[in-house]
């Protein structure tokens, strides 16, 4: 599915003024490090004619060490290719990249995230991966996770890892309340409310059935009803009636005791994982991203599990989908497109590299690599892997990326949900205000 930027302003706010200014200097159309682009451009490596390619990423010293170990494995397999690593701290990474790209000195293999693949693709700064299809296998990756790197029907990057929103559940609290864990393939939102209310009624006094956190449960609720949250042209595409229904459900949980009081909710909402009620071993269900499972389990001292959200088989489409952590892309100006593609293929599609990097850049997006590394993961990571495989098999199609200005979503949702819980706003009033404020935030960029 095509994901087309809705005007430059939408992405300029994402990438930052300085970075865009640098990009605009040249339009990022090439030049600098190579006179030709595409799979037949530049010089092809051979034993008689070795080549060097540059590879940039951000992250910790641990990531750098793991990546360089994987690079060494690639170079051993391909002695005609020398990979020059360019690790960096996250701060300033994208400004430096924009400057080097504008100067015609971009790395050959570039790590990007968020809206950057679309922005760079729109500026003709990235190589379409169809140009290197013989060197780079893209067939193993779920279409939903390729969304943020697909521009005008061309794929420009492959995801390094996968993640998904989930309901984290504490089986110990379910058992203490005498409530069985739900069948998360079939349960409904009505079932969810009933289960949460029953757990709060029957569990120990300081435990609750559900804990609200700003981890995009509303996005799943919205997507299940066929609304993609944002349209292709970067506008809010949600009816106020949907959010009204969502907050009516929240008031049912409050009134039925299925979630903490407004006062307690306001104390723990948006807290660090260890400080949430789930982290304290006091809530049976909480929305969180799948890669938070180990942290929450360690903090609570309980064996936690991941559940799919209610309603996944109840509505027009599943609301859950795989999300990318980062993308590996290739500069359009590279002199060595084939060799750059070979490096990405090795990093993302080879068991050797997968067993070195494991989950450092997220759970591998290639399901074959997830399977290959499973016996090297701890219990929480294995549970996350199995959950991601499950979601991968039934996920809805990828949604248009969040436009600039929509970064207020979580804070806005927390604030208006608090107003609903404290009866300062009705669900209908909060829903209309949510739509109005998000619309204005997006339109003001």
Q: CA-to-CA distance for 207 and 85, rounded, in angstroms?
A: 49
Nearest to 420 by CA among 278, 189, 259, 238: 259
pLDDT class of 444 with cuts at 50, 70, 90? low
Kindly list the domain boundaries of the chain, sorted by start residue.
8-160+326-390, 165-320+405-443
Return the percentage of the chain with pLDDT > 70, whole number. Answer: 88
Q: CA-to-CA distance for 371 and 375, rounded, in angstroms?
A: 8
Helices within 27-170 (DSSP H only): 61-77, 93-102, 116-122
Q: Which listed CATH number (3.40.50.300, 2.40.160.20, 1.10.1060.10, 3.40.190.10) goes with 8-160+326-390?
A: 3.40.190.10
Sign of the dihedral through C-alpha 59, 62, 64, 69: negative
**What tokens were used for 382?**
């294995």
Q: What is the mean pLDDT of residues 318-343?
A: 94
pTM as predicted: 0.75
Sorted by sequence, the CB contacts under 8 Å of residue 262 that are 6+ apart come out as 254, 418, 421, 422
Burial zone of 73 (CB within 10 Å; 0-12 exposed, 13-18 middle, 19+ buried): middle
For position 304, what pLDDT does the model report?
A: 96
CB 399 within 8 A of CB 205: no
For position 407, what pLDDT does the model report?
A: 76
Residue 385, CB-side half-sphere exposure with 13 Å CA sphere: 21
Q: CA-to-CA distance for 73 and 357, rounded, in angstroms?
A: 12
Whether 165-320+405-443 and 8-160+326-390 are alike in CATH topology: the answer is yes
Would the pLDDT of 277 be above 90?
Answer: yes
Q: What is the mean pLDDT of residues 157-185?
A: 95
Read off the pLDDT of residues 40-71 as tens digits, 9 standing for 90 and up.
445 566 667 889 999 999 988 999 999 999 99
Q: Which residue has the higher pLDDT, 331 or 398?
A: 331
Fold of 165-320+405-443: D-Maltodextrin-Binding Protein; domain 2 (3.40.190)
Q: What is the mean pLDDT of residues 116-144?
A: 93
For position 2, what pLDDT does the model report?
A: 38
């Amino acid at each position: 599915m095509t994901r087309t930027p809705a005007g430059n302003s939408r992405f300029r706010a994402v990438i930052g003024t300085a970075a865009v200014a640098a990009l605009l200097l040249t339009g990022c159309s090439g030049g600098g490090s190579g006179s030709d682009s595409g799979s037949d451009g530049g010089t092809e490596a051979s034993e008689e004619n070795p080549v060097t390619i540059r590879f940039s990423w951000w992250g910790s010293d641990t990531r750098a060490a793991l990546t360089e170990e994987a690079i060494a494995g690639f170079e051993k397999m391909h002695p005609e290719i020398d990979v020059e690593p360019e690790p960096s701290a996250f701060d300033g990474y994208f400004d430096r990249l924009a400057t080097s790209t504008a100067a015609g000195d971009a790395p050959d293999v570039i790590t990007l995230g968020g809206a950057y693949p679309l922005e760079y693709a729109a500026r003709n700064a990235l190589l379409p991966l169809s140009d290197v299809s013989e060197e780079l296998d893209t067939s193993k990756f779920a279409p939903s996770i390729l969304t943020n790197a697909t521009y005008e029907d061309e794929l420009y990057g492959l995801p390094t890892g996968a993640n998904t929103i989930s309901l984290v559940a504490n089986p110990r609290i379910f058992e203490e309340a005498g409530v069985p864990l739900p069948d998360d393939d079939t349960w409904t939102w009505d079932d969810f409310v009933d289960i949460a209310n029953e757990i709060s009624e029957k569990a120990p006094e300081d435990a609750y059935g559900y804990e609200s956190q700003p981890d995009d449960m509303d996005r799943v609720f919205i997507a299940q009803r066929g609304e993609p949250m944002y349209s292709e042209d970067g506008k809010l595409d949600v009816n106020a009636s949907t959010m009204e229904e969502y907050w009516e459900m929240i008031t049912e949980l409050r009134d039925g005791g299925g979630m903490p009081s407004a006062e307690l909710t306001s104390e723990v909402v948006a807290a660090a994982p260890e400080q949430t009620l789930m982290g304290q071993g006091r809530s049976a269900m909480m929305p969180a991203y799948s890669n938070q499972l180990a942290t929450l389990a360690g903090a609570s001292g309980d064996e936690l599990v991941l559940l799919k959200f209610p309603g996944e088989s109840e509505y027009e489409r599943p609301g859950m989908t795989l999300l990318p952590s980062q993308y590996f892309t290739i500069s359009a100006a590279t002199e060595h497109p084939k060799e750059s593609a070979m490096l990405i293929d090795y990093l993302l599609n080879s068991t050797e590299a997968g067993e070195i990097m494991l989950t450092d850049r997220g759970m591998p997006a290639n399901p074959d690599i997830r399977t290959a590394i499973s016996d090297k993961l701890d219990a929480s990571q294995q549970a996350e892997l199995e959950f991601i495989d499950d979601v991968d098999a039934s996920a809805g199609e990828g949604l248009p990326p969040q436009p600039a200005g929509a970064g207020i979503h979580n804070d806005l949702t927390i604030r208006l949900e608090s107003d609903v819980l404290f009866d300062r706003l009705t669900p209908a009033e909060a829903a209309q205000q949510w739509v109005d404020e998000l619309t204005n935030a997006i339109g003001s960029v």
